[in-house]
Amino acid sequence: MLRYSFQETMCGIFAYLNFLTPKTRSEIIDVLIKGLQRMEYRGYDSAGIGIGGEPGSPDDETVLIRKAGKVSNLAESIKGQ
């Protein structure tokens, strides 16, 4: 009989729910980056965010951004977009 062993490790998950609270996409991204930075001491090989678009705007789709390395790599990538 074959046995498989799978091990998945997660350092942490941070979520920000913005329901019926007027915030810009930029404000939400700032909250997400700061939350990830607070967990960074745990160490990880990548960081990413998923953020919904502005309702009613042309870019109202969910955007996923992921970068290898530290949260600062992710933040710099977002600033460049």
Q: What is the tens place of the pLDDT at every residue in 41-65?
A: 666 678 888 887 767 777 678 888 8
- Active-site residue, selected from the candidate residues 2, 3, 6, 11: 11
Q: Is 67 an active-site residue?
A: no
Which pLDDT does position 75 carry in this prediction?
Answer: 92
> Of the ranges 7-21, 33-47, 49-63, which one carries the lowest mean pLDDT score?
7-21
The range of the structural domain enclosing residue 63 comes to: 25-79
Q: What is the count of structural domains for the chain?
A: 1
Is the entire prediction scored with pTM above 0.85? no
Please check whether residue 13 lies inside any domain of the structure.
no
8: amino acid identity, one letter: E
Q: Mention every residue, 6+ apart, whose C-beta is less than 8 A from residue 32.
A: 14, 16, 49, 51
Q: Is residue 1 part of a domain?
A: no
Report how far residue 43's alpha carbon sits from residue 18's, in angstroms, rounded to the nearest whole number. Answer: 27
Q: Is residue 6 part of a domain?
A: no
d(CA 63, CA 49): 8
Per the CB < 8 A criterion, the answer to whether 15 and 37 are in contact is no
